[in-house]
Amino acid sequence: MTLLKGETDGSSLVDQARNLIADVSNKTIRKKKCNRRKLVVSRTLKKVNVNVGILRLQRLFWLCQDAFRGPGTVPSPVHVNRLCHILDIMKPEDVGLIRDLHFFKTKREQKTNARVVYTTIYKCQNFSLCIFFLPEGAVIPLHNHPGMTVFSKLLLGTMHIKSYDWVDPTASESSRSLSRLRLARLKANRIFEAPCDTSVLYPTSGGNIHEFRAITPCAVLDVIGPPYSKEDGRDCSYYKDSPCDAPLEGKESDNRYAWLEEIEMPSDSEMDVIEYLGPSVSLT
Ligand SMILES: [Fe+2]
């Protein structure tokens, strides 16, 4: 994903999303000043919940350390199952998100198209943990994940996801350059509503090229291994799809195909970056 540092204007989505990422324990204590007894009970319960959440994030981090072994590798099926299991039960609170805080303006209130906002929880050479915030109607256009395995967990909101895999993922550069269009098979084209199970994509399967379209404001936790790196040949490419209606020789008729054409990064899909202020992970 190509990311650009954005400027912060007073009412921007960046500010609204920054407010969303908060220290849950601090907020709990502030809210409960009026009733001492309730305060003690609430503090205790919240502390338990917060600790459970932090533990889930920390377990996810440890699993990532085990599962992602660097460029050119894919997590084993056992590691994939373990990562999916922990991500499936993760909640917005686990990464410091407050479920009922209204941080996105409605589409009617937005003067211009609000941009997608992105924050990094942790990043190393082998993997990264990050959260994408999409306002209503925002789109992350069709893009690829070269050589990567990506786990996506929708934490908040309702989102339409369309994804493709290359029909011939091993096609050489020279054969590809003969045509600007490349054939892809549709993998997913449906609506996801939080809470829902984790989606996994692999270097050549599972919908490696995907598009996110937010139906309501959304937050998505992505585990990416290895992360994008232009220097290491893992830059992000963008695509435009067009339907392939004619039957294709030798292809199964129940699969749906499309022609994908590589395009420049759409100018309206630039993202803003914000600091992550949720629970941190311990490296030890
Ligand atoms: Fe992606």
Q: How confident is the model at residue 12 (pLDDT cuts 50, 70, 90)?
A: very low
pLDDT at 173: 58
pLDDT at 244: 81
pLDDT at 175: 56
Distance CA 227, CA 5 (A): 18
CA of 218 to the centre of ligand 1 (A): 14
- 48, two tokens: 């338990």
Map residue 273 onto helix, strand or coil.
strand
DSSP 36: H
Q: Which helix (H) or strand (E) holds 153?
A: strand 149-156
Among 29-33, 135-139, 205-209, name the most confident range: 205-209
The radius of gyration computed from the CA coordinates of the chain, to the nearest angstrom, equals 20
pLDDT at 225: 96
CA of 210 to the centre of ligand 1 (A): 6
pLDDT at 68: 97
Report the pLDDT averaged over residues 263-273: 89
pLDDT at 126: 97
Distances, alpha carbon 156 to alpha carbons 94, 269, 275, in Å: 12, 20, 19
Q: Give backbone dihedrals phi and psi of 80, rounded to 5 degrees, phi first.
A: -60, -45
Distance CA 108, CA 136 (A): 10
Identify the residue whose tokens are 């914000």: 274
pLDDT digits (tens, 9 = 90+) for 54-79: 789 999 999 999 999 999 999 999 99
CA of 84 to the centre of ligand 1 (A): 17
Q: Which residue type, as a one-letter code, is found at position 79?
A: H
Q: How confident is the model at residue 206 (pLDDT cuts 50, 70, 90)?
A: very high
CA of 32 to the centre of ligand 1 (A): 40
Identify the residue whose tokens are 């999303």: 17
In this model, does residue 132 exceed pLDDT 60? yes
Q: Which residue type, as a one-letter code, is found at position 266?
A: P
- 32, two tokens: 């409960």
Give the chain's domains with CATH numbers.
13-274 (2.60.120.10)
CA of 138 to the centre of ligand 1 (A): 14
pLDDT digits (tens, 9 = 90+) for 214-244: 999 999 999 999 999 999 999 999 999 998 8
Distance CA 278, CA 238 (A): 30
CA of 49 to the centre of ligand 1 (A): 30
Identify the residue whose tokens are 């929880």: 121
In this model, does residue 200 exceed pLDDT 70? yes
pLDDT digits (tens, 9 = 90+) for 149-177: 999 999 999 999 999 999 988 875 555 55
pLDDT above 90: percentage of residues in the chain: 59
Cβ(212)–Cβ(161) below 8 Å: yes
State the sign of the Cα–Cα–Cα–Cα dihedral 4, 124, 234, 129.
negative
